[in-house]
Amino acid sequence: MAVTAREPDYRIPLANSRSVLDRTRDGARRLIDLVLPQRCAACGTPGTGHGLCGACWSGVDFIAAPVCQRLGTPFPYDPGEAVTSPAAIADPPDFGRARAVARYDGPARALVRSLKFQDRMELAGLMAGLMVRSGQELLETCDVVVPIPLHRRRLFGRRFNQAAALAGRIAGLAGCDYQPMAVQRVKSTRHQVGLSAAERRRNVAGAFRVAVEARPLVEGRRVVLVDDVLTTGATANACARACLRAGAAGVDVLVFARVAAPV
Ligand SMILES: [Zn+2]
């Protein structure tokens, strides 16, 4: 396992577009984080050091084998061998396989939200480590790790892409090539929350592309797409299709948490 010597900084420095108040607030929060030991991302207990306190860790709904070979959804019983779920047979995804660390619920949801909205970058290393373990099968056959990109407009609003923060670390831990610019988000899609599965598909249709000059980054290679959360898979499917159109040999999806899907 190759580990990168220095963590790259995925935050986007913005000189003029943020208010003084914003910057002062960020500065104050960083100072507090320096002085006080890290708080549990879910319940706020100080001095946890590992993202969550012991009680919240025990509340994480980890996804363990046996899972559907395609969707990575857990089976309520052990089917005995590698099996594809009826859901994956009825509506096969465009990506090959998906794997997740936990269900998007309770403390796992708090971890995702703390990374995304509170700038808790130290959580990215911890979450990436867990993702490498859950995605072992995918990473064994992986040539290149690519984060599911945000549209430029949303990137500026949030200052960093949490998927890239995870993907860079995962590539480093697994010893895979890391290409954060391989796929572009060319359409600013509205939030998927509250949309039906069909609406989500329409919403992300044509949202991603691999630029001609980026084609060699994915052509003939096995891609692992990384994101923080998998909901219906519409976004992951659209991104996978863009990679496949650019000639990728295969596309798998590795996320930290997935919204529980009925089996
Ligand atoms: Zn806690």
pLDDT of amino acid 3: 42
- Return the pLDDT at 180: 95
In this structure, the number of other CB atoms found within 10 A of the CB of residue 76 comes to: 6
What value does the CA radius of gyration of the chain take, rounded to a whole number of Å?
Answer: 18
Encode pLDDT of 189-243 as tens digits: 777 777 787 888 888 888 999 999 999 999 999 999 999 999 889 999 999 999 9
Calculate how far, in angstroms, residue 47's C-alpha sits from the geometric centre of ligand 1: 10
pLDDT attached to residue 226: 98
Q: How far is the CA of 91 from the centre of ligand 1 (A)?
A: 38
Inter-axis angle of helices 162-174 and 122-134, nearest 10:
60
Quote the ligand 1 centre to 40 CA distance (angstroms): 5
What pLDDT was estimated at residue 35?
A: 56
Contact predicate 181/216, CB 8 Å:
no
- If you measure from the C-alpha of residue 135 to the centroid of ligand 1, how many angstroms do you get, rounded to a whole number? 25
Output the pLDDT for position 164: 95
What's the CA-to-centroid distance between 105 and ligand 1, angstroms? 14
pLDDT band per the 50, 70, 90 thresholds, residue 142:
very high
Tokens describing residue 203:
């919403």
Cα of 100 vs centre of ligand 1, distance in Å, is 21
- Report CA(120)–ligand 1 centroid distance (Å): 15
- The pLDDT score that the predictor gives to residue 34 is 56
Q: What CA–CA distance (Å, rounded) separates 263 from 250?
A: 25
How much distance in Å is there from the Cα of 94 to the middle of ligand 1?
A: 37
pLDDT digit string (tens) for 112-126? 999 988 878 889 999
* Three-class SS of the chain: CCCCCCCCCCCCCCCCCCCHHHHHHHHHHHHHHHHCCCECCCCCCECCCCCCCHHHHCCCCECCCCECCCCCCECCCCCCCCCCCHHHHHCCCCCCCEEEEEECCHHHHHHHHHHHHCCCCHHHHHHHHHHHHHCHHHHHCCCEEEECCCCHHHHHHHCCCHHHHHHHHHHHHHCCEECCCCCEECCCCCCCCCCCHHHHHHHHCCCEECCHHHHHHHECCEEEEEEEEECCCHHHHHHHHHHHHCCECEEEEEEEEECCCCC
| Structural domains of the chain sorted by starting position, each given as residue range(s) with its CATH number in brackets | 18-59 (no CATH), 62-258 (3.40.50)
Percent of the chain with pLDDT over 90: 59
Cα 261 to middle of ligand 1, angstroms = 26
- Strand pairing category for 250-258 and 98-103: parallel
Q: 2 falls in which pLDDT band (50, 70, 90)?
A: very low
Q: Give 45 Cα–ligand 1 centroid separation in angstroms.
A: 6
60 CA distance to ligand 1 middle (Å): 11
What tens digit of pLDDT does each residue of 3-42 get?
Answer: 444 555 444 444 445 566 666 766 766 665 555 557 899 9
258: buried, middle or exposed (CB in 10 Å: 19+, 13-18, 0-12)? buried
